[in-house]
């Protein structure tokens, strides 16, 4: 009798994460279209910030659901591809030019790729939980650092280079939407560093797997 579990598992593992990913983005788009303010001093009209709301939603949601959304190559590619139409819809709702958001889109895709690489590198459940904690802390911790800097700054209003490096994806992706943003070198370098580390960890694990396989066969 065939194992039905092995047949059904790929369909469930692809459809369920992708469905949740799309629903979260649709919720963000719906809130912007319905002009629901997400904070006390939210910019008005609300729909003009739809692109920023969508980018923040995608960035944070991907970090919180990293092991589930990026469980295999199929879901990882699907998550990246389906993020673009939602971004386009939010940009049209906000009434801004598509070309002005290309840097933010590229940064978001780099963040999603980084999460996919690390999700594959972290094999055990405990390590995946630790990865989610670090990714979420990087996103939310950067927001807190920027808030503290804005509230208690004593000198120049612009954040320093070190603060830009550790600000995290949630802050950086918003800054990429601004026409008068500061240098984008620091956030790109920090993202590339994390991505390259993930690639190295994957390469080491692959070599270990190949070595164990060849040893077992011999």
> Cα–Cα distance between 73 and 150 in angstroms, integer?
40
- Write the pLDDT tens digit of every residue in 153-164: 765 566 666 777
Is-contact 154 178, C-beta < 8 A? no
Structural domain including 62 reads: 4-217
What b-and-e string marks burial along 23-42, b requiring 16 or more CB atoms within 10 Å of the CB? ebbeebbebbeeeeeeeeee
Answer left, alpha or beta for residue 26, where phi above 0 means left and psi between -120 and 50 means alpha. Answer: alpha
Is-contact 75 85, C-beta < 8 A? no
- pLDDT for 156: 54
Assign 211 a pLDDT band (cuts: 50, 70, 90): low
- Write the pLDDT tens digit of every residue in 24-51: 999 999 999 998 888 777 877 888 889 9
> Cα–Cα distance between 193 and 199 in angstroms, integer?
10
Assign 179 a pLDDT band (cuts: 50, 70, 90): low
Task: Tell me how many degrees the CA angle 130-111-85 measures, rounded to the nearest 5.
Answer: 125
Show the tokens assigned to 178. 């601004």
Count of structural domains, the chain: 1
- Residues 129-146 have a mean pLDDT of 91
Is-contact 170 135, C-beta < 8 A? no
> Cα–Cα distance between 199 and 110 in angstroms, integer?
13
Instruction: Choose between 5 and 187: higher pLDDT.
Output: 187
Share of the chain above pLDDT 90, in %: 46
- Write the pLDDT tens digit of every residue in 59-109: 999 999 999 999 988 999 999 999 999 999 999 998 888 887 888 899 999
Return the percent helix, strand and coil in the chain, to nearest 5. Answer: 80, 0, 20
Show the tokens assigned to 21. 């990913």
């Amino acid at each position: 009798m065939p194992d039905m579990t092995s047949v059904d598992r790929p369909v469930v593992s692809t459809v369920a994460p992708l469905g949740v990913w799309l629903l979260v983005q649709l919720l963000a788009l719906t809130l912007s279209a319905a002009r629901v303010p997400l904070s006390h001093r939210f910019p008005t009209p609300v729909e003009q910030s739809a692109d920023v709301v969508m980018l923040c939603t995608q960035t944070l949601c991907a970090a919180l659901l990293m092991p589930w959304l990026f469980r295999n190559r199929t879901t990882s590619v699907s998550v990246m591809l389906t993020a673009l139409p939602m971004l386009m819809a939010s940009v049209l709702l906000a009434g801004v030019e598509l070309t002005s958001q290309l840097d933010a889109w590229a940064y978001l895709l780099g963040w999603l790729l980084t999460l996919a690489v690390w999700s594959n590198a972290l094999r055990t459940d405990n390590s995946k939980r630790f990865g989610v904690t670090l990714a979420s802390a990087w996103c939310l911790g950067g927001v807190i650092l920027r808030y503290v800097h804005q509230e208690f700054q004593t000198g120049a209003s612009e954040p320093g280079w070190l603060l830009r490096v550790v600000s995290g994806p949630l802050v950086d992706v918003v800054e990429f939407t601004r026409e008068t943003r500061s240098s984008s070198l620091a956030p790109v370098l920090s993202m590339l560093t994390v991505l390259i580390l993930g690639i190295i960890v994957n390469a080491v694990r692959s070599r270990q797997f190949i070595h164990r396989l060849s040893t077992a066969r011999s």
